[in-house]
């Protein structure tokens, strides 16, 4: 299990993904539509079974 603290490389990678999405879709993926504020990514879920359970629960 990854530690709570993230490396600077991990942070830089996350920021570059955000910028890439922003450039491709011309939208900031971290902007909250209702309040127009910035969201923070606090975790990534990478386990397929956990993702699947969440999507099933949400009916997706």
Residue-by-residue DSSP string for 1-60:
---SS--HHHHHHHHHHHHHHHHHHSS-TTB-TTT-PBP--------HHHHHHHHHHTT-
Give, in order, the Cα–Cα distances in Å from 58 to each of 25, 41, 45, 49: 25, 20, 15, 14
pLDDT score for 7 = 58
41 within domain boundaries = yes
Look at residue 1 and tell me if it is in a domain: no
Is 12 inside a domain boundary? yes
Position 46 in a domain: yes
Below-70 pLDDT ranges, the chain:
1-14
Distance CA 12, CA 6 (A): 10
* pTM for this entry: 0.40
Query: What's the structural domain count of the chain?
Result: 1
């Amino acid at each position: 299990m990854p530690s709570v603290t993230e490396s600077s490389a991990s942070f830089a990678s996350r920021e570059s993904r955000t910028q890439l999405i922003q450039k491709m879709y011309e939208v900031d993926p971290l902007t909250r539509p209702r309040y127009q504020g910035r969201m923070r990514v606090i975790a990534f879920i990478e386990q397929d079974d956990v993702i699947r359970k969440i999507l099933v629960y949400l009916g997706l």
